[in-house]
Amino acid sequence: MTVPLDRVRVAAHTSWRGGAASPGQRTIPEETAIAFSYNRFAYAVMMGSPSDLEDFAIGFSLTEGIASCRDDIQDIEIVPVEAGIELRMWLNEPRMAAFAKRRRYVAGPSGCGLCGLESLTQAMRPPTHVTSDFRVAADELAAAIRSLTGLQPLNSQTHAVHAAAFWQPDRGIVAVREDVGRHNALDKLTGALARSAVPASYGAILLTSRVSVEMIQKASVLGAPVVVAISAPTALALRIAEEAGITLVAIARDDGFEVFTHGDRITYECSAHVA
């Protein structure tokens, strides 16, 4: 089977609505097996959208702790193969030595952020503590979430993928990445910010998904002080956000949102301008 590299395909279907059947077509997202290897050692296989793959390679490496910065990865090859796509990375000597001590193999479905971990201790690793004096007005944050809707071309076509974005008050939304997996979207965003040398300590991550613990763990590695999601968080995500020093805002709707942790970063006076 040849693996498609297109982000979407058009599928024929029979629609049954209003008691009647009719032929039709729908644009749906592609989903591809994506394998990660480091210096030719296999590490993980994730299901994801075949787009922004260099961002995915870098962001996944950073949030997994395989690389501590973009420069730890000396080279990246994106290689389509019969069963999927291989992201072949080469680490510098110090990082490769550390990687060799912890190498594992992961096989996980889309949306799986804790697949194949060797121990419960690793799954519950302490988050990176985020220190930032970033503050933001509530109305600006609400406007940021509203603006994200028009910046999701893949979801506009398919209504079936997640997005992760980074927003700053003076620049608006700096980057957006989409994927069938919410963790993948956040990893791709992490890679995009690393490649552009955009500091995550000044701004907010915007998510179109629910907030589970691994999303907060990844955000803490990125160093983002504020995470905003349109869906609800889990209780464990709240505890880890509190520990990490992250302001967690969730259930963001047209009429507002709910602030769960470290609410001192949110101000409720009307701002002079809304980016």
Which residues are designated catalytic? 112
d(CA 95, CA 65): 10
d(CA 103, CA 87): 16
Name every residue whose Cβ is closer than 8 Å to that of residue 148 and which is 6 or more positions away in sequence. Answer: 163, 165, 173, 176, 206, 208
**Nearest to 152, CA basis, from 162, 144, 138:** 162
- Cβ contact 55:177 at 8 Å: yes
Give the CA distances from residue 78 to residues 51, 74, 193, 237, in Å, rounded to whole numbers and listed in that order: 11, 14, 19, 33
Which tokens is 101 given?
Answer: 């001590």
